Amino acid sequence: MKLKFWGPVLLATLLYVVVFFAWTWPLGGHLASAFPAVPHRDAYIFLWNVWHFREAVVSGTNPFFTDWLLYPTGASLVMHAYTPLIGLVNLLVGNEMLAVNLTMLGSYALSGTGAYLLCRRWVRSPVLSWLAGLIFAFSPYKLQRLPEHYNLVLTAAVPFYVLAFLAAFQWEAGRFLPVIRSRKAVAWCFGLGFVTLLSDYYVLFGLLYFSLAYALWYWLRLGQISWRRPRPWLVLIVILILSHIAIRLLRLSKLSDNGGFWWGGDVIGYLAPPQTSRWLDFAWARSLYVNPKIYNMPDTLENVMFLGYAIPLLGLGLALWPRRAASVRRLDADGRPLAWVLLFFVMLTMPALQIFGKQRLNLPTGILHFIPFFNNIRCPTRWVMMVSLLLPVVTFSALEAWWQPRLRPGLQWALSLFLLGCVAVEYWPKPLPVTYNAGLPPVYREAARLPGKVLFPIPVGLLDGRRLLGVMEPENFFYQTRHRKKLPTAYFSRIDEARFADFDQDPVMHTLLALQKAPADTVFAAPRPAQAAAFRRHFRPDLLVINPAWRNSPAHRYLRQVFPDFAERTFPDGYVLLAPAPTPRPTP
């Protein structure tokens, strides 16, 4: 029996591994010497996270504080998207690129396996169940974020948490607390929650919101409502009107929603394929994503909620099909709330029902964005991750209930394979952007060879999820893992306002931040000797590196005056290195 069960599971996992290598190529050929990264975007700080975690643990320092960035003051990493789970893997392998790639491979494969097992609970077809795992593990949401936000693709624990949650508790309508079925399953829930805590707080809140939505089904007795009568529809309309007005008043009162409605999804985000799609990168979709009339932040991956066309249309058609038989999931008391939970997460992606940039209706779930702590989840489109898990389970169970009395087994297999082909076409991505270790600019190899503790780069800046001061070059964080010198620049998820003020209060730094954005012919006053001396005492730079785009810029010329004793060397690729001039040897 065990072999009969685990054989198909292992085969499913192996096939997800194959898909990972196929859809992320050329990464698979360079697991120890490259990492997925869109140039000038966030992936570099995630690689730094993995490197720093091991660096701190091995050296015996606190891994949740650093002065490698924002030197010399440093900052806490507690509220940073730190992904310590990958850091723990790096403790074992000792190679941050390999640790990232192995963790990504494991996360995608296990995400698919968990969704496969969840679907198999109510769906007989192994092809449909495997397709459910493919949709959850390799949705456009996750494939687009793989080379940018490693934390958001660490979803392996999610379907296993759902399975453990269903095994752990027995719920009854109107009763607040459930009956514990299995203490072992409860322990699994906490264990998987802790693993998710080490991965990402958005994914962790996905587990919490799943638990809340599931409980609401019983607390509000939603399963006992007869939607064939007019009264429930009238009550629903009243609730929607009152919640719309209440949220409207809250927004007019200037109560902070922490940008939740500003980042809220648009219905078009479910319909427009992303630019990363190999076969569906349509010009009309591109024009929509860059349209400021539709999106407050055009051309950002936070607007993408695409799940393909085949499965959403199939699910909608089955939901509207008259007099269809009840599915196995619907007949199961544990599975019955999942359609409601799916709807809950769809509403979470859009705190206001928005169509082509126009907010038509404030949805009740938008209240969460006014509740402190909960409103730190300010990018609601990310909940499409949970939609991609639940939509196939609900849809495929309903599909089997529809086709059992209508289609022969051969046609059922044919339809399953056809759906698999449709999703493969819809989801297949363009080649993954990859950064190679061999692509390190020579100036940083030279910086690693030279003595000194601190490297000062131009451009320089300070960035968090809300504010940018100066100019940020994310590649600096990857380069630091190679030259191993501390940097005054930084990018953290959250930075105290006091840190921004401290960073900007030095007169020389303040001038540099301004000159980085100044026209090339800008005329500036030379720094006072006392100001230059104070700057050098505070930041203690041993080396300066100028990016080719800023060579001979006002900021570069200004630094020459701050460091008149540093010798300058230009590399063939345009980088400039400023370092203390070598002391001449005495003549014998």
Count the Cβ atoms, other than its own, within 10 Å of residue 324: 13
Q: What are the tens digits of pLDDT across the range 536-552? A: 999 999 999 999 999 99
**pLDDT score for 3:** 62
Q: Which of 72-81, 116-125, 182-191 has the weakest average pLDDT?
A: 72-81
Facing residues of 36 across strands? 434
Confidence of residue 247 (pLDDT cuts 50, 70, 90): very high
Average pLDDT, the chain: 95
pLDDT > 50? residue 261: yes
Which of 143, 131, 136 has its CA nearest to residue 163?
Answer: 136
**pLDDT score for 241:** 96
Residue 317's alpha-carbon distances to 130, 300, 402, in angstroms, are: 22, 31, 11
Confidence of residue 1 (pLDDT cuts 50, 70, 90): very low
DSSP string, 231-290: HHHHHHHHHHHHHHHHHHHHHHTT---TTTTTT---THHHHSPPTTBSS---HHHHHHHT
Report percent pLDDT > 70 for the chain. Answer: 98
**pLDDT score for 498:** 84
Q: What single DSSP character describes residue 94?
A: S
Helix (H, G, I), strand (E, B) or coil at 460: coil
State how far the Cα of 565 lies from the Cα of 358, in Å rounded to an integer. Answer: 59
pLDDT > 90? residue 581: no
Cis preceding linkage at 140, omega within 30: no
pLDDT > 70? residue 299: yes
Start-end of H helices in 293-367: 310-320, 328-331, 338-349
**pLDDT score for 160:** 98
Give, for 170, the enclosing helix (H) or strand (E).
Answer: strand 169-170
Amino acid of residue 204: L
Q: What are the tens digits of pLDDT across the range 405-422? A: 999 999 999 999 999 999
Average pLDDT of the segment spanning 272-292: 95
Q: What are the tens digits of pLDDT across the range 207-240? A: 999 999 999 999 999 999 998 899 999 999 999 9
**pLDDT score for 583:** 63
Two tokens, residue 228: 């064939």
Count the Cβ atoms, other than its own, within 10 Å of residue 373: 6
**pLDDT score for 413:** 97
Residue 482's alpha-carbon distances to 274, 324, 472, in angstroms, are: 34, 61, 19
What is the b/e burial string over 85-98, where b = at least 16 CB atoms within 10 angstroms of the residue's CB? bbbbbbeebebbbb
Higher pLDDT, 183 or 504: 183
What is the b/e burial string over 148-163, where b = at least 16 CB atoms within 10 angstroms of the residue's CB? bbbbbbbbbbbbbbbb
